[in-house]
Structure 1
Amino acid sequence: MPSAVAHGMLAGLSEIADIGRDRRAGGYSRHLWEPAEHELRAWFAERAARLGLDVEVDRNGNTWAWWGAPGPDAVVIGSHLDSVPGGGAYDGPLGVVSALEAVARLQAAGFVPGRPCAVLVFAEEEGSRFGVACLGSRLLSGAIDADKARSLTDRAGITFAEAAVTAGIDPAHLGRDQESLDRIGLFLELHVEQGRGLIDLGEPLAVASSILAHGRWRMSFTGQGNHAGATLMSDRSDPMVAAARAIVDVQEAALASPGSRATVGRIEALPGGTNVIPSAVHAWLDARAETDDQVHAVVADISARVQNQHAGCSATVVEESWTSTVTFDPDLAARLALALGGIPALPTGAGHDAGVLAATVPTAMLFVRNPTGISHSPEEFATLDDCLAGVEALDTLLRELL
């Protein structure tokens, strides 16, 4: 592997290593249209410009960097730069940096593409600010209603439409972007693996075979806000108690459905005072399984259990986002695996923009080994050798596809 590629890979990750560091949670917190994410967008535009790529932001906030003139039947590669709260350094940025390095490597070799090519950075992949994962690709493909997207709110009560205006995006034009979709002949996303599949196989790379069905639901519990010291325990309608019981039920319902995963990773109490019995508690459920029916069955079980956790409170469970099981085109996956020497195929439990686009355009994914097996955490990692293997794989595939 040429040292220039290693240097470029390290430089790409090191240039953004201090952007969005979260001193409280650890790792990185890089959320859509907040200062850290704006800084990442500027970094991407500058780094793309070094390669002579033409950068444009589409009407949904996704950023494209074109190698040559934009056009139909383009090979588009990329990932995302936003993160979960306290996330790792590789989830998203590895795919973006690797895509730029693959283009740089091809340029240095004098390769001239025979069809249009672009590096694409999706907006709000993690859904950490507005609650819907892969929001940029959902809007691009029409997988979410534009009016629903415009009305989404962050924790400060700012709507997606309001935030879009501050970022220079016209909210009236949000939604399915057929012109951009028509340009994509194939989308390829490289991503650090979020699991132990490649560790167990002893391989640095794999192609994606499928993505588990998954969704997010908001569980809301409403009671009576009151004084923590003046209200007898027997006189309380405490939604935190109802929420706590429901969270235990989430684990039990998932364990009762083999292969299912259910998580409550965020909870908010209103008004949020230490000496205040909450008037309402919201808890967000993430549920996943191999089939759509299995996820819906688990969520139905959870909903039934939640309704029984009264503690003098009312409860609701409302769906906020949903993605059916994704099976990537097996012929395309086999073609890419063969071009890379017969690398294995792996399913994943993590959602990706490639999975959203798979219903609209041909898509594929490459996974790079994560030796910790940990993701959405500061412990997420990939070795330099494996990262460079990913760049070489993109180089090989682009030579074949372009």
Structure 2
Amino acid sequence: MTASGLLGELTGVGADRTRGGYSRHVFDAPERELRTWFVERAQRLGLGVETDLNGNIWAWWGAPGPDAVVTGSHLDSVPGGGAFDGPLGVASALAAVELLQGKGFRPGKPFAVVVFAEEEGGRFGVPCLGSRLLTGTIDAGKARALRDPDGITFAEAAAKAGLDPERIGPDPERLGRIGRFVELHVEQGRGLVDLGSPVAVGSTVIAHGRWRFSFSGQGNHAGATLISDRRDPMIPAAETVVAARRLASTAADARATVGRLVPTPGGTNVIASTVDLWVDARVPGDTGTLSLVEELTGAARAAAEAEGCRVEITRESYSDDVVFDDALRRDLGTWLGSPPELPTGAGHDAAILAGFVPSGMLYVRNPTGISHSPEEFAESADVDEGARALAEVLEKMSA
């Protein structure tokens, strides 16, 4: 089946009636349904399927072994996300295997399609959690203790999904099997529209991270409490939101976003006692992101002090600039006839793996230029062209 046809099978799974788009988060019902779909589809192709100790799913064409060619992506989404971010790479990988099998090709190296767990961080807050656990770039104890908005820990959710929480953590033997990794993903921007190409090769991922700002003050009655008597944490929280935009606008190609803000208790006639907000910051260069957040921290502390409040800042994730493997990037360009190369501000599992194994990315054109939103899109013809390009790459890599 074509990649666009496989994607069509997922329509409606995890549809979000409130936000629009899709909400599919690791180990919830929609994401488990997609996992079942992947296993069934992989087995139809004769692939041997296993789930590792961190909840990542591996489908092997032949016996697992060293110097493996690996491709894949993720099935989870951001809250109210689009239909392509993640599942496109998985569907394209399955379609590429079917294309290669149809022409009688058999890999000369071990070959696997992988589905990584919790790439978006939509449930437990840390992006690329499955690949971070695999590589040991997040502490296993910290990962087990992560909580979703309902207070369920990652360990509890993993146990309910059939994993052993005590075994969660680095998996050097499995990581050591990967010879080269290529991830196909929908473009998260509109560079390819302007360049007139359906497919691009990834060049870099800019440094990025997430920080939680927790403001605390005094909860009270909205009508009975004079302005002069208030210690309202919403005030420094709001000033921090504005400061994030202001500081990002002064740095070249910087991005800072507050996409989530949670007041407690959250009543319309109640002064909040606490306000938590999350800052996503991305600045090119290995020091730019940290410098921007340091400035923002100073602004948040000053705003909290002026309101008689307190603030605690916690770094939840951070990755330096990633430059994808030069040799692999050149090979991808040669095999595909010199398509455009694109940098990105979006994080990916390939960027986590790049610190350990030669990794690369392919992007499929997104005519809307919109991602992490229901308006995210790719034409069926471009989706299928991306799968054909991936098949070409995988054939060369695994010959």
Q: What is the TM-score normalised by the length of structure 1?
A: 0.97
Q: Which amino acid aligns with 1:369?
A: R
Partner of 1:40: 34
The 2-side partners of 1:273 and 1:380 are apart by 33
Q: Which amino acid aligns with 1:312?
A: G
* 1:202-281 superposed matches below 5 A: 202-281=196-275
1:331 to 322, 327, 331: 327
Which aligned runs of 4 or more in structure 1 are off by greater than 2 angstroms?
Answer: 8-11
Query: SS at 1:105's partner residue?
Result: helix
| Residues 4 and 384, structure 2, Cα contact 8 Å, conserved in 1 | no
> Shift in Å at residue 85 of structure 1?
0.2
Residue 177 (structure 1) aligned with residue 183 (structure 2):
no
Residue 312 (structure 1) aligned with residue 300 (structure 2):
no
> Shift in Å at residue 196 of structure 1?
1.6
| Residues 31 and 76, structure 2, Cα contact 8 Å, conserved in 1 | yes
Partner of 1:286: 280
Aligned residues: 396
Query: SS at 1:309's partner residue?
Result: helix
Partner of 2:120: 126
Q: Which amino acid aligns with 2:353?
A: L
1:186 to 134, 156, 180: 180
Partner of 1:346: 342
1:165 to 159, 178, 197: 159
The 2-side partners of 1:118 and 1:240 are apart by 49
> Shift in Å at residue 111 of structure 1?
0.9
Partner of 1:117: 111
Moved more, 369-378 or 329-338: 329-338
Partner of 1:11: 5
The 2-side partners of 1:230 and 1:37 are apart by 46
Partner of 1:73: 67
The 1-side partners of 2:8 and 2:337 are apart by 31
Query: SS at 1:373's partner residue?
Result: coil
1:391 to 387, 390, 398: 387
The 1-side partners of 2:75 and 2:61 are apart by 20
The 1-side partners of 2:29 and 2:325 are apart by 38
Query: SS at 1:292's partner residue?
Result: coil
The 2-side partners of 1:178 and 1:331 are apart by 24
Moved more, 21-30 or 287-296: 287-296
Query: SS at 2:30's partner residue?
Result: helix
Q: What is the TM-score normalised by the length of structure 2?
A: 0.98
Query: SS at 2:240's partner residue?
Result: helix
Q: Which amino acid aligns with 2:163?
A: I
Q: For each residue in 1:14-47, what CA deviation from the matched residue of structure 2 results, as whole angstroms up to 9, or x when unmatched?
A: 1111100000000000001111111110111111
Q: Which amino acid aligns with 1:125?
A: E
Partner of 1:364: 360
Query: SS at 1:308's partner residue?
Result: helix
Partner of 1:201: 195
Q: For each residue in 1:315-351, what CA deviation from the matched residue of structure 2 results, as whole angstroms up to 9, or x when unmatched?
A: 2222110111101112210111111001121110000
> Shift in Å at residue 275 of structure 1?
1.9
Residue 24 (structure 1) aligned with residue 50 (structure 2):
no
Partner of 1:82: 76
Q: Which amino acid aligns with 1:398?
A: L
> Shift in Å at residue 11 of structure 1?
2.5
The 2-side partners of 1:101 and 1:34 are apart by 26
Q: For each residue in 1:103-125, what CA deviation from the matched residue of structure 2 results, as whole angstroms up to 9, or x when unmatched?
A: 01111111111111111000000
Q: For each residue in 1:146-174, what CA deviation from the matched residue of structure 2 results, as whole angstroms up to 9, or x when unmatched?
A: 11111111111111111111111111111
* 1:129-144 superposed matches below 5 A: 129-144=123-138
Query: SS at 1:354's partner residue?
Result: helix
> Shift in Å at residue 253 of structure 1?
0.7
The 2-side partners of 1:11 and 1:347 are apart by 29
Q: Which amino acid aligns with 1:171?
A: P
> Shift in Å at residue 296 of structure 1?
1.0
The 2-side partners of 1:320 and 1:203 are apart by 36
The 1-side partners of 2:252 and 2:393 are apart by 37
| Residues 4 and 383, structure 2, Cα contact 8 Å, conserved in 1 | no
Query: SS at 1:401's partner residue?
Result: helix
Give unpaired runs (5+ residues) of structure 2.
Answer: none
> Shift in Å at residue 179 of structure 1?
1.6
Q: Which amino acid aligns with 2:113?
A: V
| Residues 16 and 80, structure 2, Cα contact 8 Å, conserved in 1 | yes
Query: SS at 1:131's partner residue?
Result: coil
Q: For each residue in 1:72-104, what CA deviation from the matched residue of structure 2 results, as whole angstroms up to 9, or x when unmatched?
A: 111011000000000000000000000000001
> Shift in Å at residue 10 of structure 1?
3.0
| Residues 223 and 269, structure 2, Cα contact 8 Å, conserved in 1 | yes
The 1-side partners of 2:286 and 2:193 are apart by 28
Partner of 1:322: 318
The 1-side partners of 2:323 and 2:365 are apart by 21
Query: SS at 2:294's partner residue?
Result: helix
The 2-side partners of 1:17 and 1:126 are apart by 19
The 1-side partners of 2:32 and 2:189 are apart by 29
Partner of 2:48: 54
The root-mean-square deviation of aligned C-alpha atoms, in Å, is 0.9
Query: SS at 1:220's partner residue?
Result: strand
> Shift in Å at residue 362 of structure 1?
1.0
**Aligned residues: percent identity?**
59
